[in-house]
């Protein structure tokens, strides 16, 4: 995570209880580092800053909010699975296209294009 992103998260209140050294630099312990890693993951999941704040608020309330946190995470898990399926479709298309091009270059398949009209006399 970049310094700017870390500073942003701290300034947004997403890293609670940050300690400061004598020179006013932020000092992070392993709990902070693990939480910051969690924030980075939540961002990759597509969670907005506001949603991260809501998730943080639930976490700070303790064990009683685990069901709400699980529900929130489940929503993101489903979205990630949908994105993974879309990415797999894209990978499958690329593999198919690469195979088509390879077979054209090897003379195993006749070239055709959906973009270029081929005249019967060509």
pLDDT in 10s for each residue of the chain, 122 residues: 899 999 999 999 999 988 999 999 999 999 999 999 999 999 999 999 999 999 999 999 999 999 999 999 999 999 999 999 999 999 999 999 999 999 999 999 999 898 987 665 55
Residue 121: per-residue pLDDT: 54
Same domain, 28 and 70: no
Q: How far apart are CA 40 and CA 30, in angstroms?
A: 15
Return the H-helix or E-strand segment holding 51.
Answer: helix 49-60
Same domain, 37 and 88: no
Same domain, 55 and 109: no
Residue 36: per-residue pLDDT: 96
Same domain, 36 and 90: no
Among 42, 60, 78, the domain boundary falls at: 60
pTM of the model: 0.76
Same domain, 55 and 110: no
Residue 117: per-residue pLDDT: 79
Same domain, 44 and 5: yes
Same domain, 46 and 99: no
Same domain, 55 and 2: yes
Find how far residue 73's CA is from the centre of its chain.
Answer: 13
Same domain, 38 and 85: no
Same domain, 50 and 18: yes
Same domain, 115 and 74: yes
CA-to-CA dists, residue 84 to 8, 30, 51, 113, angstroms: 29, 31, 22, 29
* Residues spanned by the domain of 111: 64-122
Among 55, 84, 83, CA closest to 70: 55
Residue partners of 52: CB distance under 8 A and separation at least 6: 14, 39, 42, 43
Domain count, the chain: 2
């Amino acid at each position: 995570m970049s310094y700017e992103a870390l500073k942003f998260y701290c300034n947004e209140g997403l890293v609670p209880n940050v300690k400061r050294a004598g020179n006013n630099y932020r000092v992070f312990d392993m709990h902070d580092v693990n939480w910051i890693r969690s924030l980075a993951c939540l961002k990759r999941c597509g969670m907005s800053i506001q949603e991260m704040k809501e998730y943080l608020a639930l976490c700070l309330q303790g064990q009683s909010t685990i069901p709400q946190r699980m529900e929130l995470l489940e929503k993101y898990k489903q979205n990630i699975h949908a994105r993974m399926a879309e990415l797999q479709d894209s990978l499958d298309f690329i593999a198919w296209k690469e195979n088509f091009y390879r077979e054209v270059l090897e003379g195993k398949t006749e070239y055709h294009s959906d973009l270029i009209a081929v005249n019967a006399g060509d």
